[in-house]
A and B are shown apart, each in its own frame.
Chain A
């Protein structure tokens, strides 16, 4: 997992609420056995017409969205399926942080497991971001803050352990494996 310290980027905005993981990556693209390459099918049914050509009016296809790595989404992003492919697709496309007022539980977990930063913001900040696509913002993982172009800084929730993993590019499996003795004791006691 890549270490993430700060992200400075323009935003790309998808104001739709309840963007489910079937939109982020439709089920028909889940038949790969690797983690790579899902980005080309990110938001496939919103991004391409039936002939497979990019729809020019879709936010991610607009010229000004190219290179933007922060996705600002409507509330309750990532509801539905537990498919981690949704996080992989966003990341493969080049998204490094997702900003919303509400994250579906499993999607948020999947983001953190891959170094994709879930940034939960208040309605006011969200409203401003929705109204100002391509705003240049800075996300600082260490201080768990998002800075708007005018210098306004808002805090977002990120517990110590998740922050540590993001900052150091450490995944949790190593930590779990280090608890081997405690796990063995538990197993012994519950035979």
Chain B
């Protein structure tokens, strides 16, 4: 019987099949961990006298609460946020005690957990990958089944390398035609979320399909899968192909030699079979899209950059607009911008920084605009510096930092002041996400850079001659 890619990966990892009464026991191939959602899991293991079952399948990094200021990372200046310093220390102790490989704060391989997994080549087609972070969906870009879990489940995986799971449903997102020039993968995923809604994917694993998706780079595919969770989906997946294999062939921890040849054979069997059926599907016409910007307090409140803030009657919508200080009918591209953030697991990879720099090159930030550029990993940082991208940002008046989650979630000292408009390449525009009272507008790196130059939301296609 023809199978979807999700079904193949799922079936291959069932240790004990599900029944009406009990969920399946599912084996996990890769457990990525970080400092914020693991401390309580290690405490539980210690309390029960349990060991880490598979240190070889577990990797730890620090990213969420860690500072991005160079002096706090490398300069011996204490981490400004006390409780964050405690988490960093706790992770070091836990990693030592349980035998987990850890990229500590000064490690040259450190970075955001969803950036380094792919960089290392640990993220591979057909794997099951989990992490105590909802944006684990990012790794689905390689044809892995990757999803976020809570801390109790982190403990389950540490102790048993397995999870109890009910099989989710499947949802095909067919992206037909190609993106117009100047329209990015970020715009596409924002448009998809706008279309299916922030709970449109609940209970489902998305598979992004179609000619448009096949034409995307790995970085772009990761941006797409990263935000699957913003549509409520359990995971997002993209079929592995020549683009995937070319990316992984260069990666240090991907299989080598005979193991590589064998892996390729396996990976080529993964794409959804002809005739396989999905529980749901939707068609999205990429050719009809323009750059997208959010105007509200969840990622589904999104509009074309050349459009207006829509009008809607209900109280929740009114509350969101009041929080954002916007009026129905107001042009999106008129919204002032005080703060610009380029980075995060959504758009903190090298190509994202290149795209922002291409728009920004030779320009200065508008009067009063603050801009923070935070590479997704130390590797991305070095590669960007080797190309001189840091100079482009610094010359424009932006700040250039060490890697981390930074201003995506306001728990590491990088904050947007209350009432300020922040155009951000991250993934969530929830109230207070970037700081108490901060007003977040999600957009692509190109749109963020163009808006930094003008000091208001600006269509990056106005700078396309660059």
Chain A interface (Cβ < 8 Å from any Cβ of B): 15-18, 20, 22-23, 26-28, 30-35, 45, 50, 74-76, 79-85, 87, 102-106, 109-110, 113-114, 159-161, 171-173, 175-177, 179-180, 182-183, 186-187, 190
Provide the residues of chain A in CB contact with B121, threshold 8 Å: none
Min Cβ gap A93→B in Å is 18
Among B84, B133, B134, B152, find the residue whose CB has the most chain A CB atoms closer than 10 A. B152
The reply to whether A22 and B152 contact each other, CB–CB distance below 8 Å, is no
Provide the residues of chain A in CB contact with B203, threshold 8 Å: 105
Given the known interface contacts A18-B298, A176-B159, the answer about A80 and B15 at a Cβ–Cβ threshold of 8 Å is no
The reply to whether B153 and A113 contact each other, CB–CB distance below 8 Å, is yes
Of the candidates B43, B155, B232, which one forms a contact with A104 in the assembled complex, judged by CB atoms under 8 Å apart?
Answer: B232
Of the candidates A32, A81, A82, A183, which one forms a contact with B15 in the assembled complex, judged by CB atoms under 8 Å apart?
Answer: A183
Q: Mark the stretch among B67-75, B173-181, B392-400, B430-438 that contacts chain A.
A: B430-438
The reply to whether B150 and A105 contact each other, CB–CB distance below 8 Å, is no
Provide the residues of chain A in CB contact with B44, threshold 8 Å: 173
Provide the residues of chain A in CB contact with B87, threshold 8 Å: 31, 33
The reply to whether B202 and A106 contact each other, CB–CB distance below 8 Å, is no
Provide the residues of chain B in CB contact with A34, threshold 8 Å: 39-40, 43
Chain B interface (Cβ < 8 Å from any Cβ of A): 15-16, 20-23, 25, 27, 36-37, 39-40, 43-44, 48, 50, 53, 64-65, 81, 83-84, 86-87, 90, 132-134, 136, 148-153, 155-156, 159-164, 166, 168, 198-199, 202-203, 229-230, 232, 234, 298, 315-316, 319, 409-411, 418, 428, 430-433, 436
Return the chain B residue nearest A22 by Cβ: B430
Complex Cα gap A82–B235 (Å): 13
Of the candidates A22, A110, A113, which one forms a contact with B428 in the assembled complex, judged by CB atoms under 8 Å apart?
Answer: A22
The reply to whether B150 and A110 contact each other, CB–CB distance below 8 Å, is yes
Min Cβ gap A164→B in Å is 8
Complex Cα gap A37–B415 (Å): 24
Complex Cα gap A180–B136 (Å): 26
Given the known interface contacts A22-B433, A76-B202, A82-B37, the answer about A176 and B27 at a Cβ–Cβ threshold of 8 Å is no
Complex Cα gap A104–B201 (Å): 10
Min Cβ gap B134→A in Å is 4
Provide the residues of chain B in CB contact with A175, threshold 8 Å: 164
Complex Cα gap A48–B251 (Å): 48
Of the candidates A26, A31, A161, A172, which one forms a contact with B83 in the assembled complex, judged by CB atoms under 8 Å apart?
Answer: A31
The reply to whether A105 and B234 contact each other, CB–CB distance below 8 Å, is yes
Complex Cα gap A4–B81 (Å): 38
The reply to whether A33 and B153 contact each other, CB–CB distance below 8 Å, is no
Complex Cα gap A34–B148 (Å): 20
Provide the residues of chain B in CB contact with A50, threshold 8 Å: 418, 436
Complex Cα gap A128–B20 (Å): 32
Provide the residues of chain A in CB contact with B229, threshold 8 Å: 80
The reply to whether B198 and A76 contact each other, CB–CB distance below 8 Å, is yes
Among B44, B64, B149, B232, find the residue whose CB has the most chain A CB atoms closer than 10 A. B232
Of the candidates B81, B168, B430, which one forms a contact with A23 in the assembled complex, judged by CB atoms under 8 Å apart?
Answer: B430
Complex Cα gap A91–B131 (Å): 23
List 23 A-B residue pairs with CB atoms under 8 Å apart, sorted by A's residue number.
Answer: A22-B432, A22-B433, A26-B436, A27-B411, A30-B411, A31-B83, A31-B87, A32-B83, A33-B43, A76-B232, A83-B37, A102-B199, A102-B202, A104-B199, A105-B168, A105-B202, A105-B203, A114-B152, A173-B159, A179-B16, A179-B25, A183-B53, A187-B27
Given the known interface contacts A102-B202, A161-B23, the answer about A176 and B40 at a Cβ–Cβ threshold of 8 Å is no
Return the chain B residue nearest A111 by Cβ: B150
The reply to whether B431 and A33 contact each other, CB–CB distance below 8 Å, is no
Provide the residues of chain A in CB contact with B202, threshold 8 Å: 76, 102-105
The reply to whether B430 and A182 contact each other, CB–CB distance below 8 Å, is no
Closest 3 CB pairs of A and B: A31-B83, A84-B150, A33-B39
Given the known interface contacts A80-B430, A105-B232, A182-B25, the answer about A75 and B199 at a Cβ–Cβ threshold of 8 Å is yes
Complex Cα gap A34–B163 (Å): 22
Among A27, A75, A171, A177, find the residue whose CB has the most chain B CB atoms closer than 10 A. A27
Provide the residues of chain B in CB contact with A22, threshold 8 Å: 409, 428, 430-433
Complex Cα gap A114–B411 (Å): 25
The reply to whether A179 and B232 contact each other, CB–CB distance below 8 Å, is no
Min Cβ gap A154→B in Å is 20
Among A15, A83, A104, A173, find the residue whose CB has the most chain B CB atoms closer than 10 A. A173
Complex Cα gap A183–B81 (Å): 41
Complex Cα gap A116–B65 (Å): 27
Of the candidates B134, B151, B411, B436, which one forms a contact with A31 in the assembled complex, judged by CB atoms under 8 Å apart?
Answer: B411
Given the known interface contacts A80-B134, A82-B37, the answer about A87 and B20 at a Cβ–Cβ threshold of 8 Å is no
Given the known interface contacts A80-B430, A82-B134, A113-B153, the answer about A160 and B148 at a Cβ–Cβ threshold of 8 Å is no
The reply to whether A82 and B149 contact each other, CB–CB distance below 8 Å, is yes
The reply to whether B134 and A182 contact each other, CB–CB distance below 8 Å, is no
Provide the residues of chain B in CB contact with A186, threshold 8 Å: 15, 27
Provide the residues of chain B in CB contact with A80, threshold 8 Å: 134, 229-230, 428, 430
The reply to whether A82 and B132 contact each other, CB–CB distance below 8 Å, is yes
Min Cβ gap B91→A in Å is 9
The reply to whether A83 and B150 contact each other, CB–CB distance below 8 Å, is yes
Complex Cα gap A104–B298 (Å): 14
Provide the residues of chain B in CB contact with A183, threshold 8 Å: 15, 25, 27, 53, 160-162
Complex Cα gap A182–B43 (Å): 26
Given the known interface contacts A75-B199, A172-B156, the answer about A27 and B410 at a Cβ–Cβ threshold of 8 Å is yes
Min Cβ gap B292→A in Å is 19
Given the known interface contacts A28-B410, A82-B148, A172-B164, the answer about A33 and B316 at a Cβ–Cβ threshold of 8 Å is no
Q: A20-B428, A82-B132 are in contact. List 16 more A-B contacts (CB 8 A).
A: A18-B316, A22-B433, A26-B410, A27-B410, A28-B411, A31-B411, A33-B39, A33-B86, A74-B316, A76-B199, A76-B202, A81-B134, A84-B132, A102-B199, A105-B203, A183-B25
The reply to whether B15 and A182 contact each other, CB–CB distance below 8 Å, is yes
Complex Cα gap A154–B187 (Å): 42
Complex Cα gap A76–B230 (Å): 12
Provide the residues of chain B in CB contact with A15, threshold 8 Å: 315-316
